[in-house]
Amino acid sequence: MTTADTDINDAHREKMAKIKAVKDRIYASKTKEKGLLIVHTGTGKGKSTAAFGLVMRTLGHGLKVGVVQFVKGRRETGERQILEKFPDLVTVKVMGEGFTWETQDRERDIAAAKAAWDEAVAMMAAPDLHLLLLDELNIVLRKDYLSIDNVVDGLLAKRADLHVVVTGRNAKPELIEAADLVTEMTLVKHPFRDGVKAQLGIEF
Amino acid sequence: MTTADTDINDAHREKMAKIKAVKDRIYASKTKEKGLLIVHTGTGKGKSTAAFGLVMRTLGHGLKVGVVQFVKGRRETGERQILEKFPDLVTVKVMGEGFTWETQDRERDIAAAKAAWDEAVAMMAAPDLHLLLLDELNIVLRKDYLSIDNVVDGLLAKRADLHVVVTGRNAKPELIEAADLVTEMTLVKHPFRDGVKAQLGIEF
């Protein structure tokens, strides 16, 4: 090792020691435990996938999870197969009847959204749930199939230690305002444009 | 139902039928199967969590997954516990030795990054892997612990049907250029600022 290398390494060590001191101080100041209202929105990929990651992480701790799927897609076979391995910990309700352009029936879509929200409210009342995923709730809110005021009131009335994750593009401002943690997934580059189809393990 | 309601519903049905025709035409044109190079970057949350969601989705299909973790964090207990349930399908290599401000040893960090990349190259050569997660690779690339040219060359030489996911903030432009699918996770709102600590099932 040359003298220059030694200098670089020493400078690095000193800088990192300072950073560690700051980080430790910050972590020590974070003491609150709180059930979070989390929103994943934006037009990019990963909104539902990251929520599903939180679901799996929670299951890894042996804690209970509820999932209400507001829009039934065609692509959740991989997720469903994993969730079925944890029948004692997971309750899944698929309430939507397909994409709006598949059902082509607005009345039925509204009825399905209302039934799904009723399920969500019932799950929020369960005393032992650690995480509740309201998948694609933003989609039905954007279409005004559910009252945003009603939904935000319901979410704010949740048990203090329950985490709720809401996904879907175009989250309404009222929901973002009410949320604790909001992440926007932004599309930088997408292979779909190049004729690549939806693939096993990636999209479904 | 009033006449106005009937009109709204009919208009909805007609509009949705048109959208479906367009969607069906688009889907029919997407015929390529291709192993993707996927990048999750940005300063928001969900980069590794969404990648972990892809891992679990792939496991749901009974397909093999490799994970190389370039920076060893403290917070993956939930994920590790789930992955351990699939010993025949998952290979995990945790190569990093902790955050740079924890190790405070640049030489050791560089050696760990190189060993992790060697693991990644070996996994890319495995014929039966469906998905390879290179978690926090962007972090060590940003610090120039690995040569970006060398890594991009290695990733572009991967098996044509293997999906590779690279995570970490500050993805280098060379990697974004090489990637098929890039999503940026953007922080809109974070509870950490309000003194809420990292919590079970959410951060770890």
What does the H/E/C string look like for chain A?
CCHHHHHHHHHHHHHHHHHHHHHHHHHHHCCECCCCEEEEECCCCCHHHHHHHHHHHHHHCCCEEEEEECCCCCCCHHHHHHHCCCCCCEEEEECCCCCHHHHCCHHHHHHHHHHHHHHHHHHHCCCCEEEEEEECHHHHHHCCCCCHHHHHHHHHCCCCCCEEEEECCCCCHHHHHHCCEEEEEEEEECHHHHCECCCCCCCC
Residue A13 class from Cβ within 10 Å (0-12 exposed, 13-18 middle, 19+ buried)? middle
**Is residue B51 domain-shared with residue B118, that is, in the same domain?**
yes
DSSP lists the bridge partners of residue A32 as B196
Check whether B90 has a pLDDT greater than 60: yes
Query: Looking at the domain assignment, is residue A27 inside a domain?
Result: yes
**Is residue A163 domain-shared with residue A137, that is, in the same domain?**
yes
Measured distance CA(B54)–CA(B77) in Å, rounded = 18
**Is residue B98 domain-shared with residue B79, that is, in the same domain?**
yes
Token digits of residue B179: 């990637």
pLDDT interval class at B121 (50, 70, 90): very high
Q: Which of B24, B28, B33 is nearest to A200 (CA)?
A: B33
Nearest CA in chain B to A81: B60
Q: Assign residue A66 the CATH number of its domain.
A: 3.40.50.300
Check whether A76 has a pLDDT greater than 90: no
Check whether B27 has a pLDDT greater than 70: no
**Is residue B94 domain-shared with residue B16, that is, in the same domain?**
no
What integer best gives the mean pLDDT of chain A?
A: 87
Q: Nearest by CB to A201, from B102, B105, B131: name it.
A: B131
Identify the residue whose tokens are 């509204």.
Answer: A110
Identify the residue whose tokens are 């029919």.
Answer: B28
DSSP lists the bridge partners of residue B183 as A187, B40
Q: Which of B38, B56, B86, B194 to mutate to test the interface with A (most CBs of A within 10 A)?
A: B56
pLDDT digits 0-9 by tens, A20-42? 777 777 767 666 678 999 999 99
Check whether B43 has a pLDDT greater than 80: yes
Least confident segment among A39-43, A179-183, B47-51, B102-106: B102-106
> Which helix (H) or strand (E) is B158 found in, with range?
none
Q: Nearest by CB to A34, from B19, B163, B191: name it.
A: B191
**Is residue A27 domain-shared with residue A90, that is, in the same domain?**
no
What integer pLDDT is reported at residue A193 of this predicted model? 57
* Cβ–Cβ under 8 Å, residues A150 and A178: no
Nearest CA in chain B to A62: B78
Cβ contact, residue pair B184, A104, below 8 Å: no
Query: Looking at the domain assignment, is residue B172 inside a domain?
Result: yes
Q: Nearest by CB to A186, from B85, B103, B184: name it.
A: B184
**Is residue A81 domain-shared with residue A156, that is, in the same domain?**
yes
Nearest CA in chain A to B28: A197
Contacting residues for B158 by C-beta, under 8 A, at least 6 apart? B35, B37, B124, B132, B164
pTM: 0.81
What integer pLDDT is reported at residue B88 of this predicted model? 96
**Is residue A187 domain-shared with residue A86, that is, in the same domain?**
yes
**Is residue A41 domain-shared with residue A61, that is, in the same domain?**
yes
pLDDT digits 0-9 by tens, B76-86? 678 888 999 99
Residue A185 class from Cβ within 10 Å (0-12 exposed, 13-18 middle, 19+ buried)? buried
> Is the CB of residue A204 less than 8 Å away from at least one CB of chain B?
yes
In angstroms, what is the C-alpha Rg of chain A? 21
What integer pLDDT is reported at residue B134 of this predicted model? 97
Query: Looking at the domain assignment, is residue A201 inside a domain?
Result: no
Measured distance CA(A38)–CA(A56) in Å, rounded = 16
Query: Looking at the domain assignment, is residue A105 inside a domain?
Result: yes
**Is residue A82 domain-shared with residue A149, that is, in the same domain?**
yes
What integer pLDDT is reported at residue A96 of this predicted model? 66
Token digits of residue B31: 């015929």
What integer pLDDT is reported at residue A34 of this predicted model? 85
pLDDT interval class at B200 (50, 70, 90): confident
> Is the CB of residue A198 less than 8 Å away from at least one CB of chain B?
yes
The complex scores an ipTM of 0.79
Check whether B193 has a pLDDT greater than 60: no
Q: Look at chain A and report how many structural domains it folds into.
A: 2
pLDDT digits 0-9 by tens, A125-160? 999 999 999 999 999 999 999 999 999 999 999 999
What integer pLDDT is reported at residue A16 of this predicted model? 81
Check whether B113 has a pLDDT greater than 90: yes
- Pairing between β-strand A181-189 and β-strand B181-189 as defined by DSSP bridges: antiparallel
Cβ contact, residue pair A46, B33, below 8 Å: no
What integer pLDDT is reported at residue A59 of this predicted model? 95
What integer pLDDT is reported at residue A106 of this predicted model? 84
**Is residue B106 domain-shared with residue B181, that is, in the same domain?**
yes
Percent pLDDT > 90 in chain A is 61
Touching A: B residues 105-134, CB under 8 Å:
105-107, 130-131
* A chain contacts of residue B53, beta-carbon cutoff 8 Å: 46, 48-53, 56
**Is residue B20 domain-shared with residue B92, that is, in the same domain?**
no
> Is the CB of residue A157 less than 8 Å away from at least one CB of chain B?
no
* Cβ–Cβ under 8 Å, residues B130 and A201: yes
Range of A9's domain?
1-31
Q: What is the dihedral of CA A6, A10, A13, A18, to 10 degrees?
A: -160
Query: Looking at the domain assignment, is residue B102 inside a domain?
Result: yes
How many Å lie between the alpha carbon of A124 and the closest alpha carbon of chain B? 17
DSSP B197: P
Q: Which of B142, B7, B127, B114 is nearest to B63 (CA)?
A: B127
**Is residue A18 domain-shared with residue A94, that is, in the same domain?**
no
Query: Looking at the domain assignment, is residue A200 inside a domain?
Result: no
pLDDT digits 0-9 by tens, A78-92? 888 899 999 999 999
Query: Looking at the domain assignment, is residue B199 inside a domain?
Result: no
Query: Looking at the domain assignment, is residue A94 inside a domain?
Result: yes
Check whether A98 has a pLDDT greater than 70: no
* B chain contacts of residue A31, beta-carbon cutoff 8 Å: 195, 197
